[in-house]
């Protein structure tokens, strides 16, 4: 399972989860029903075998079990991420079967005994296994056969990804090049174009209408929600205390998920009272607020806003002192303002964008010509002077050094110099006040003590990146093999996230 695999295997499995989760930013309007052939109910094919809607639902239930075992969290059974992960696991299982990977009983038993869900003080505890069976497997109708199948799939997937990762390679010069770009001190200069000094044109009514239509979300009243929640506080700062709090939170929240057909969801307040938990409540809040006292993790707020009347209870979520389980008490959906309601804001934002475009246009000709002239031996100072611009030197810094930098837009400048060659100027970079470009005068040698400390870490990072890239490429190649037909939206997600 993810929580106890070797670091190499964790990376490969986690990247599959991560690329799918991030992809929904770009493909958020997809639903499984959009992929159904209304004439045949065909959802797709794996290995030449047609999958019906019922087949996919059964596979998704199995994936729910496997993800719960791997992460210790119960995904919602209508979660789009879970649906995509189901297709990923079907591809993995097909490949493992084709490769003849057949785990032995002792390997399956060892996998169960090493799962952190069933460990106490580092050793397998049968009581924890029985508790998991009573709180999750039995209520959800998972048989011993299904559980064994989940373990079987996990073990052979681990072996499959292990074989795949063994083919990755890093060329000897790559770590040194990365070291120089990240930790080599740089001398740089910054050119700025201030948008406030530019006069934008006056927008026509048609300009404003079109701009409002294309940027509706910028003029939206945000969704608001009121949350009640219970907290499971860890008795100490050690791992065992936090683990016990997590087990209690898992037991509490599992009773709200994956209910049998016709079974009503229990009342949150009643279940909390039965468990002798104090229910706390927030004021109404939006995504920009910090409603949970002492909590700064924005993922809590995002999780709260994802709750709905149909799915009002969250999974157990990490908090500063343990875990929280959230319940949606009330909420108001967001609303888009009409052009008439938002006219002043629409015009102000239109003119701000127009100023930024003017600043970018003013920079483009100079930057293109400057790099060409620098390549022919021209001096940077002469080019800047001839263009009537002013370049400001910034203090010498190493891009990966976490020490705060005093000049504006420091993080943007840190990033861009890692991609620049010496004696070259960057493309135009937009900022809140206009835009800038960075000239890299020179990159100095990495101090010996920094090199000795960071080079091994960079080598490991590059190897992991290479393995992850192999896993991503492999996943795409499996999806388009003859005999495999995934919903087009799924293929777009797998391709578009790379």
Other Cβ atoms closer than 10 A to 168: 18
Place of tokens 């010069």: 173
Q: Give the DSSP letter string of 176-230.
A: HHHHHHHHS-EEEEEEEEEGGGS-PPPPPHHHHHHHHHHTGGGGEEPPEEEEEEE
Cα 81 from Cα 266, distance rounded (Å):
25
Residues comprising the chain, all counted:
498
Range of the domain at 210: 185-218+340-443
Q: Is residue 139 a part of any domain in this protein?
A: yes
Same domain (yes/no): 37, 140: yes
Summarised one tens digit per residue, pLDDT across range 16-71 is: 444 444 343 333 333 444 444 443 568 899 999 999 888 888 899 999 999 888 88
Neighbouring residues of 218: CB distance < 8 A, sequence distance ≥ 6: 349
- The pLDDT tens digits for 200-246 are 999 999 999 999 999 998 999 999 999 999 999 998 888 888 999 99
Q: Sorting pLDDT into bands at 50, 70 and 90, what band is 77?
A: low
Kindly report the pTM of this predicted structure: 0.59
Same domain for 395 and 467? Answer: no
Of 189, 196, 187, give the one whose Cα is nearest residue 389.
189
Q: What are the pLDDT digits (tens) for 404-448?
A: 999 999 999 999 999 999 999 999 999 988 999 999 999 999 999
The answer to whether residues 329 and 227 touch, using CB atoms and an 8 Å cutoff, is: yes
Phi, psi of 89 (to 5 degrees): -70, -35
The domain boundary residue, chosen from 298, 333, 368: 333
Model confidence at 13: pLDDT above 70: no
Domain of 316, CATH number, reads 3.10.50.40
User: Does residue 227 share a domain with residue 79?
Assistant: no
Based on the fold, state whether residues 347 and 471 are members of the same structural domain.
no
C-alpha R_g of the chain: 28
Mean pLDDT calculated for residue range 81-89: 87
Q: What is the predicted pLDDT for the residue at 38?
A: 42
Question: What confidence category does residue 167 fall into, taking pLDDT thresholds of 50, 70 and 90?
Answer: confident
Same domain, 55 and 147: yes
Lowest mean pLDDT among 2-16, 96-110, 291-305, 468-482: 2-16
Separation of alpha carbons 259 and 263, rounded Å = 6
Answer whether residue 111 is part of any domain.
yes
Mean pLDDT for the stretch of residues 88-99: 91
As a whole number of angstroms, the distance between CA 188 and CA 391 comes to 10
- Residue 1 binned pLDDT confidence (cut-offs 50, 70, 90): very low
Q: Is 453 within the bounds of a domain? A: no
Exposure class string for 247-283: b at 16+ Cβ within 10 A, else e? bbbbbbbbbbbbeeeeeeeeebeebbeeeebeeeebe
pLDDT mean over 144-151: 91
Using the CB atoms, write b or e for 446-477: b if 16+ within 10 Å. beeebbeebbeebbeebbbebbbebbbebbee
Contacts with 138 (C-beta within 8 Å, 6 or more apart), sequence order: none
Does residue 175 form part of some domain?
no
Q: Are 431 and 410 in contact (CB under 8 A)?
A: no
pLDDT at 30: 38
Residue 491 sits in the same domain as residue 383:
no
- Tally the domains of the chain: 3
Return the C-alpha torsion angle 26, 29, 35, 41, nearest 10.
150
How many C-beta atoms lie closer than 10 Å to residue 37's C-beta?
Answer: 12
Residue 448 located in a structural domain: no
- Selection from 253, 222, 22 nearest residue 136 by Cα: 253
Residue 362 CA neighbour count, 13 Å, CB half:
22
Structural domain contains residue 268: yes
What percentage of the chain has pLDDT greater than the value 90?
62
Whether residues 404 and 422 share a domain: the answer is: yes
Q: Given 299, 316, 333, which residue is the final one in a domain?
A: 333
Instruction: Write out the E strands in 164-212.
Output: 186-194
pLDDT for res 78:
56
Helix pair angle (7-23, 448-479), 10° resolution: 60
- Looking at residue 188, its pLDDT comes to 97
CATH value at residue 386: 3.10.50
Q: Is residue 115 part of a domain?
A: yes
C-alpha 53/C-alpha 235 separation (Å) is 46
110 and 11 housed in the same domain: yes
Answer yes or no: do 235 and 381 share one domain.
no
Domain end call among 333, 358, 376: 333
Regarding whether 62 and 24 lie in a shared domain, the answer is: yes
Does residue 421 sit in the same domain as residue 491? no
CB 223 within 8 A of CB 286: yes
> Parallel, antiparallel, or unpaired: how do β-strands 119-120 and 123-124 relate?
antiparallel
Within-domain flag for 310: yes
Please, which pLDDT band fits residue 303 given cuts at 50, 70 and 90? very high
From CA 101, how far away is CA 123, in angstroms rounded? 28
Give the C-alpha separation, 429 to 438, whole Å: 9
Residues 281 and 325 placed together within one structural domain of the fold: yes
């Amino acid at each position: 399972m993810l929580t106890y695999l070797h670091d190499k295997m964790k990376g490969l499995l986690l990247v599959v989860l991560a690329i799918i989760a991030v992809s929904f930013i770009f493909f958020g309007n997809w639903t499984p029903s959009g992929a159904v052939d209304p004439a045949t109910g065909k959802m797709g094919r794996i290995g030449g075998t047609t999958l019906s809607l019922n087949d996919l639902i059964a596979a998704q239930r199995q994936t729910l079990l496997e993800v719960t075992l791997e992460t210790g969290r119960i995904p919602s059974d209508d979660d789009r991420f879970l649906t995509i992960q189901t297709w990923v696991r079907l591809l993995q299982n097909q490949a493992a079967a084709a490769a003849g990977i057949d785990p032995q009983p002792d390997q399956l038993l060892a996998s169960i005994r090493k799962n952190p869900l069933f460990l106490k003080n580092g050793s397998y505890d049968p009581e924890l296994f029985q508790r998991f069976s009573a709180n999750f497997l039995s209520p959800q109708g998972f048989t011993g056969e299904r559980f064994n199948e989940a373990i079987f799939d996990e073990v052979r997937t681990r072996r499959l990804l292990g074989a795949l990762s063994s083919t990755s390679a890093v060329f000897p010069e790559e770590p040194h090049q990365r070291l120089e770009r990240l930790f080599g001190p740089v001398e740089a200069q910054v050119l700025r174009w201030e948008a406030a000094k530019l006069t934008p044109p006056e927008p026509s009514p048609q300009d404003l209408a079109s701009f409002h239509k294309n940027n509706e979300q910028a003029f939206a009243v945000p969704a608001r929600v009121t949350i009640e929640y219970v907290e499971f506080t860890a008795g100490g700062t050690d791992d065992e205390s936090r683990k016990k709090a997590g087990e209690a939170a898992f037991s509490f929240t599992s009773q709200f998920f994956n209910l049998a057909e016709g079974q009503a969801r229990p009342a949150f307040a009643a279940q909390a009272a039965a468990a002798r938990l104090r229910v706390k409540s927030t004021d109404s809040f939006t995504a920009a607020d910090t409603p949970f006292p002492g909590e700064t993790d924005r993922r809590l707020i995002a999780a709260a806003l994802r709750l709905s009347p149909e799915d009002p209870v969250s999974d157990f979520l990490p908090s500063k002192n343990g875990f929280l389980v959230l319940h949606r008490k009330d909420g108001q959906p967001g609303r888009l303002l009409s052009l008439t309601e938002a006219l002043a804001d629409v015009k102000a934002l239109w003119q701000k964008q127009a100023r930024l475009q003017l600043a970018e246009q003013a920079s483009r000709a100079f930057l293109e010509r400057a790099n060409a002239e620098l390549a022919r031996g021209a001096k940077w100072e002469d080019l800047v002077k001839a263009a009537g611009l002013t370049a400001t030197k910034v203090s010498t810094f190493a891009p990966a050094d976490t020490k705060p930098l005093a000049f504006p837009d420091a993080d943007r400048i840190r990033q861009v110099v890692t991609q620049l060659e010496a004696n070259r100027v960057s493309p135009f970079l937009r900022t809140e006040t206009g835009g800038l470009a960075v000239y890299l005068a020179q990159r100095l040698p990495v101090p010996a003590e920094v090199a000795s400390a960071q080079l091994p870490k960079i080598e490991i990072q590059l190897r992991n990146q290479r393995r992850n890239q192999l896993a991503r490429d492999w996943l795409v190649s499996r999806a388009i093999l003859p005999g495999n037909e995934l919903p087009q939206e799924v293929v777009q997600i797998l391709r578009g996230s790379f």
